[in-house]
Amino acid sequence: MASFGQHLNIAVVATGVVVVPLHASGVLTTYQAVLALFLGVVGGILPDLDSDNSKPIQIGFKILSIFLPLLILLLFVGKMALLKTLLLWIILTIVLKLTLFNVLLKLTVHRGLFHSVPMGFLIFELLSLLFFEYFHYSMQHSLILCFFIFYGFIIHLLLDEVYSVNLEGMKLKRSFGTAFKFYEKNNVKGTLLLYFLIVVTYFFTPLRDANFLHVVDVIKPVFRPENIF
């Protein structure tokens, strides 16, 4: 199993290799390129969300428990008194910290269903829905940007599988096959529920109306000779 630092470094490099030509060719603005890099890096460490002993994950939870409520409260700026807004922010932060995140850590098993390809795809779907409906990005850019969190997620799973191979003796470690997987054999009900959520979510995301020829047209500039050589 790769360390947190290795996952982070590989995610930065792998995402950067894709983001740079997209930005250089004008497909992504500077802001969008930074956002894409951020999403790729988040995706690169996200599968270890189910690790109870991961210090970076615990730190990440503490940060999210503060900033997620803040993002929600931004919707109410000017609609609620300042003191009420601050009080609600504190309450939401405590609730997230003591309930949702603690429950999530207790319910998840390391390298369980969360550490799988379909979970990465569901996260991609949900995020693309957020970008399309809430942030009002175009269908093409919602899919392109949110692709990076799925891309980073897959890079993480593949890297864990690489570390499951003993290259010196060319033997497979016991952990081989537990990282890059499409189902969890010890959680059949959870696997079925996950695929059900993927199907249902699909009909609410930009994917439902996506014309991938249009997406291809958006990224065509990347392959122009002047942007390659």
Task: Provide the pLDDT for residue 104.
Answer: 54
CB 127 within 8 A of CB 149: yes
60-69, 101-110, 156-165 — most confident range? 156-165
- Give the mean pLDDT of 36-63: 72
Domain-by-domain residue ranges, the chain? 4-51+110-228
* pTM (2 d.p.): 0.74
47-51, 63-67, 152-156 — most confident range? 152-156
Residue-averaged pLDDT of the chain: 76
Least confident of 45-54, 195-204, 207-216: 45-54
What is the distance between the alpha carbons of residues 140 and 12, in angstroms, rounded to a whole number? 23
- pLDDT of residue 20 exceeding 80, the answer is yes
What is the distance between the alpha carbons of residues 203 and 224, in angstroms, rounded to a whole number? 34
- pLDDT of residue 149 exceeding 90, the answer is yes
What is the distance between the alpha carbons of residues 14 and 223, in angstroms, rounded to a whole number? 18
Amino acid symbol at 10: I
- pLDDT of residue 115 exceeding 60, the answer is yes
Would you tell me the crossing angle of helices 188-202 and 117-133 to the nearest 10 degrees? Answer: 30
Task: Provide the pLDDT for residue 222.
Answer: 73
Strand boundaries in the chain, DSSP class E: 165-166, 171-172
- pLDDT of residue 16 exceeding 90, the answer is yes
* pLDDT tens for each residue of 30-42: 989 999 998 998 8
Distances (CA, A) of 13 to 44, 57, 124: 11, 21, 20
The residues with which 172 forms a beta bridge, in sequence order, are 165
